[in-house]
Structure 1
Amino acid sequence: MRLSLQFLDFDLSEDTDGLRSWSALASPAPAHSPALLAEVQSLLAQLTQQLGAPGPVDEGHVWDMALDTEVTHERTTVSLHLTGGAALDECLSPWISP
Protein backbone atom coordinates (compact mmCIF):
# COMPACT_ATOMS: atom_id res chain seq x y z
CA MET A 1 0.00 0.00 0.00
CA ARG A 2 1.41 3.38 -1.03
CA LEU A 3 1.01 6.13 1.55
CA SER A 4 1.00 9.57 0.06
CA LEU A 5 3.36 12.39 0.97
CA GLN A 6 2.21 15.75 -0.33
CA PHE A 7 4.94 18.03 0.94
CA LEU A 8 8.01 15.99 1.89
CA ASP A 9 10.23 14.93 -1.01
CA PHE A 10 13.20 12.89 0.22
CA ASP A 11 16.70 12.63 -1.23
CA LEU A 12 18.61 9.47 -0.32
CA SER A 13 22.33 9.11 0.34
CA GLU A 14 24.25 6.06 1.52
CA ASP A 15 27.68 5.71 3.08
CA THR A 16 30.15 2.88 2.49
CA ASP A 17 28.93 1.04 5.61
CA GLY A 18 25.35 0.85 4.32
CA LEU A 19 23.99 3.60 6.56
CA ARG A 20 21.32 5.50 4.66
CA SER A 21 20.16 9.07 5.14
CA TRP A 22 16.97 10.59 3.81
CA SER A 23 16.65 14.39 3.76
CA ALA A 24 13.61 16.49 2.98
CA LEU A 25 12.98 20.22 3.03
CA ALA A 26 9.50 21.70 2.64
CA SER A 27 8.22 25.27 2.77
CA PRO A 28 4.68 25.43 1.42
CA ALA A 29 2.38 28.42 1.27
CA PRO A 30 1.17 29.46 4.74
CA ALA A 31 -2.28 27.95 4.17
CA HIS A 32 -0.65 24.51 3.83
CA SER A 33 1.50 24.66 6.98
CA PRO A 34 -0.96 22.67 9.13
CA ALA A 35 -1.08 19.90 6.51
CA LEU A 36 2.73 19.82 6.30
CA LEU A 37 3.08 19.52 10.07
CA ALA A 38 0.41 16.79 10.15
CA GLU A 39 2.29 14.90 7.42
CA VAL A 40 5.54 15.05 9.40
CA GLN A 41 3.78 13.97 12.59
CA SER A 42 2.07 11.06 10.84
CA LEU A 43 5.29 9.81 9.26
CA LEU A 44 7.27 10.03 12.50
CA ALA A 45 4.48 8.34 14.48
CA GLN A 46 4.40 5.47 11.99
CA LEU A 47 8.18 5.04 12.09
CA THR A 48 8.18 5.11 15.89
CA GLN A 49 5.39 2.55 16.03
CA GLN A 50 7.24 0.20 13.69
CA LEU A 51 10.86 0.79 14.76
CA GLY A 52 10.73 2.15 18.29
CA ALA A 53 12.01 5.50 19.45
CA PRO A 54 14.70 7.20 17.39
CA GLY A 55 18.18 7.58 18.78
CA PRO A 56 21.84 7.43 17.78
CA VAL A 57 22.35 4.53 15.38
CA ASP A 58 25.93 4.08 16.59
CA GLU A 59 24.50 3.44 20.08
CA GLY A 60 22.26 0.61 18.86
CA HIS A 61 19.10 2.40 17.80
CA VAL A 62 17.45 1.26 14.56
CA TRP A 63 16.95 4.81 13.31
CA ASP A 64 17.55 8.43 14.15
CA MET A 65 16.09 11.72 13.05
CA ALA A 66 16.64 15.45 13.14
CA LEU A 67 13.68 17.78 12.72
CA ASP A 68 13.99 21.54 12.41
CA THR A 69 11.03 23.87 12.02
CA GLU A 70 11.31 27.57 11.35
CA VAL A 71 8.57 30.16 10.88
CA THR A 72 9.51 33.30 8.98
CA HIS A 73 6.97 35.86 7.78
CA GLU A 74 4.11 33.39 8.38
CA ARG A 75 5.81 30.72 6.25
CA THR A 76 6.77 27.42 7.91
CA THR A 77 9.89 25.61 6.74
CA VAL A 78 10.52 22.03 7.83
CA SER A 79 13.81 20.19 7.47
CA LEU A 80 13.64 16.47 8.25
CA HIS A 81 16.62 14.10 8.20
CA LEU A 82 16.23 10.37 8.82
CA THR A 83 19.12 7.94 9.27
CA GLY A 84 19.13 4.16 9.50
CA GLY A 85 19.68 0.88 7.71
CA ALA A 86 17.54 -1.73 6.01
CA ALA A 87 14.74 -1.65 8.61
CA LEU A 88 14.20 2.09 8.13
CA ASP A 89 14.40 1.66 4.37
CA GLU A 90 11.66 -0.97 4.53
CA CYS A 91 9.41 1.20 6.71
CA LEU A 92 9.88 4.26 4.49
CA SER A 93 9.29 2.35 1.28
CA PRO A 94 5.46 2.69 1.27
CA TRP A 95 5.82 6.43 1.84
CA ILE A 96 8.51 7.35 -0.67
CA SER A 97 8.74 4.63 -3.32
CA PRO A 98 7.73 5.69 -6.83
Structure 2
Amino acid sequence: MYLQFLEFDQSEDSDGLRTWDALANPAAVHTTALLAETAALVQHLTQQLGPAGPIDEGHHWDMDLLIHDEAGQPLTLEANAPLCGRITLALSLSGGAELAQQLL
Protein backbone atom coordinates (compact mmCIF):
# COMPACT_ATOMS: atom_id res chain seq x y z
CA MET A 1 0.00 0.00 0.00
CA TYR A 2 1.47 3.35 -1.06
CA LEU A 3 1.71 5.84 1.81
CA GLN A 4 2.42 9.52 1.29
CA PHE A 5 2.31 10.90 4.85
CA LEU A 6 3.05 7.95 7.12
CA GLU A 7 6.68 6.87 7.28
CA PHE A 8 7.37 3.97 9.62
CA ASP A 9 10.39 2.93 11.67
CA GLN A 10 10.46 -0.81 12.34
CA SER A 11 11.82 -2.70 15.33
CA GLU A 12 11.70 -6.37 16.30
CA ASP A 13 11.92 -8.01 19.71
CA SER A 14 13.62 -11.32 20.54
CA ASP A 15 10.30 -13.19 20.15
CA GLY A 16 9.81 -11.99 16.57
CA LEU A 17 7.15 -9.40 17.37
CA ARG A 18 7.59 -6.47 15.01
CA THR A 19 6.54 -2.91 15.68
CA TRP A 20 6.14 -0.12 13.16
CA ASP A 21 6.01 3.44 14.53
CA ALA A 22 5.05 6.57 12.60
CA LEU A 23 4.80 10.18 13.74
CA ALA A 24 3.29 12.77 11.40
CA ASN A 25 2.85 16.53 11.83
CA PRO A 26 2.25 17.89 8.33
CA ALA A 27 1.20 21.38 7.34
CA ALA A 28 -2.48 22.09 8.01
CA VAL A 29 -3.30 21.85 4.30
CA HIS A 30 -2.48 18.10 4.51
CA THR A 31 -4.53 17.28 7.63
CA THR A 32 -7.48 15.80 5.76
CA ALA A 33 -5.23 13.73 3.50
CA LEU A 34 -3.23 12.38 6.46
CA LEU A 35 -6.40 11.31 8.25
CA ALA A 36 -7.76 9.70 5.08
CA GLU A 37 -4.50 7.82 4.53
CA THR A 38 -4.49 6.57 8.12
CA ALA A 39 -8.14 5.49 7.93
CA ALA A 40 -7.48 3.66 4.64
CA LEU A 41 -4.49 1.83 6.13
CA VAL A 42 -6.45 0.76 9.22
CA GLN A 43 -9.36 -0.37 7.04
CA HIS A 44 -7.03 -2.34 4.76
CA LEU A 45 -5.34 -4.07 7.69
CA THR A 46 -8.71 -4.88 9.27
CA GLN A 47 -9.98 -6.38 6.02
CA GLN A 48 -6.85 -8.48 5.55
CA LEU A 49 -6.04 -9.48 9.15
CA GLY A 50 -9.22 -8.98 11.15
CA PRO A 51 -9.69 -6.46 13.94
CA ALA A 52 -6.74 -5.08 15.85
CA GLY A 53 -6.33 -6.40 19.36
CA PRO A 54 -3.89 -7.94 21.81
CA ILE A 55 -1.51 -10.33 20.08
CA ASP A 56 -1.43 -12.60 23.14
CA GLU A 57 -5.21 -13.00 22.83
CA GLY A 58 -4.95 -14.34 19.28
CA HIS A 59 -5.19 -11.20 17.17
CA HIS A 60 -2.87 -10.93 14.15
CA TRP A 61 -2.07 -7.28 14.81
CA ASP A 62 -2.52 -4.48 17.30
CA MET A 63 -2.36 -0.72 17.06
CA ASP A 64 -2.10 2.40 19.16
CA LEU A 65 -3.28 5.63 17.54
CA LEU A 66 -2.99 9.06 19.13
CA ILE A 67 -4.11 12.25 17.40
CA HIS A 68 -4.19 15.75 18.83
CA ASP A 69 -4.61 19.28 17.53
CA GLU A 70 -2.25 22.22 18.03
CA ALA A 71 -3.87 23.00 21.39
CA GLY A 72 -3.19 19.45 22.57
CA GLN A 73 -6.83 18.40 22.46
CA PRO A 74 -7.27 14.72 21.58
CA LEU A 75 -9.00 13.87 18.32
CA THR A 76 -10.34 10.64 16.87
CA LEU A 77 -9.84 9.23 13.42
CA GLU A 78 -13.61 9.13 13.00
CA ALA A 79 -14.10 12.82 13.79
CA ASN A 80 -16.76 14.23 11.48
CA ALA A 81 -15.97 17.88 12.12
CA PRO A 82 -13.89 19.52 9.40
CA LEU A 83 -10.32 19.98 10.57
CA CYS A 84 -8.49 22.97 9.22
CA GLY A 85 -5.59 23.20 11.66
CA ARG A 86 -2.38 21.33 12.08
CA ILE A 87 -2.45 17.99 13.90
CA THR A 88 0.05 15.51 15.27
CA LEU A 89 -0.62 11.84 14.65
CA ALA A 90 1.29 8.95 16.23
CA LEU A 91 0.57 5.43 14.99
CA SER A 92 2.13 2.24 16.32
CA LEU A 93 1.39 -1.11 14.68
CA SER A 94 2.50 -4.45 16.13
CA GLY A 95 2.35 -7.96 14.75
CA GLY A 96 4.18 -10.80 13.11
CA ALA A 97 4.82 -11.96 9.57
CA GLU A 98 1.20 -11.44 8.47
CA LEU A 99 1.34 -7.75 9.32
CA ALA A 100 4.78 -7.40 7.75
CA GLN A 101 3.44 -8.75 4.46
CA GLN A 102 0.69 -6.12 4.44
CA LEU A 103 3.09 -3.25 5.14
CA LEU A 104 5.87 -4.15 2.71
Same fold (TM over 0.5): yes
Q: Which runs of 5+ in 2 are unaligned?
A: 72-84
Query: What CA RMSD, in Å, does the superposition of the two structures yield over aligned residues?
Result: 0.8
Measured against aligned partners, the alpha-carbon deviations of 1:21-54 in whole angstroms (never above 9, x if no partner) come to: 0000000000100000000000000000000000
Structure 1's consecutive aligned runs of 4 or more residues displaced over 2 angstroms after TM superposition are none
Q: Which runs of 5+ in 1 are unaligned?
A: 94-98
| 1:79 alignment partner in structure 2 | 90
| 2:82 alignment partner in structure 1 | none
| 1:96 alignment partner in structure 2 | none
- Which amino acid in structure 2 is aligned with residue 44 of structure 1? V
When the two structures are superposed, what TM-score results if normalisation uses the length of structure 1?
0.90
**Structure 1 residue 92: deviation in Å?**
1.0
When the two structures are superposed, what TM-score results if normalisation uses the length of structure 2?
0.85
**Structure 1 residue 4: deviation in Å?**
1.9
Asked if 1:10 corresponds to 2:13, the answer is no
Distance 2:93 2:2 in 1: 18
State the identity as a percent. 56
**Structure 1 residue 75: deviation in Å?**
1.3
Compare the two structures and name the one with the higher helix fraction: 1
Give the secondary structure class of the aligned counterpart of 1:80. strand
Alignment of 1:15-34 (within 5 A): 15-34=13-32
Matched pairs, number: 91
Measured against aligned partners, the alpha-carbon deviations of 1:1-22 in whole angstroms (never above 9, x if no partner) come to: xx32111000000000000000
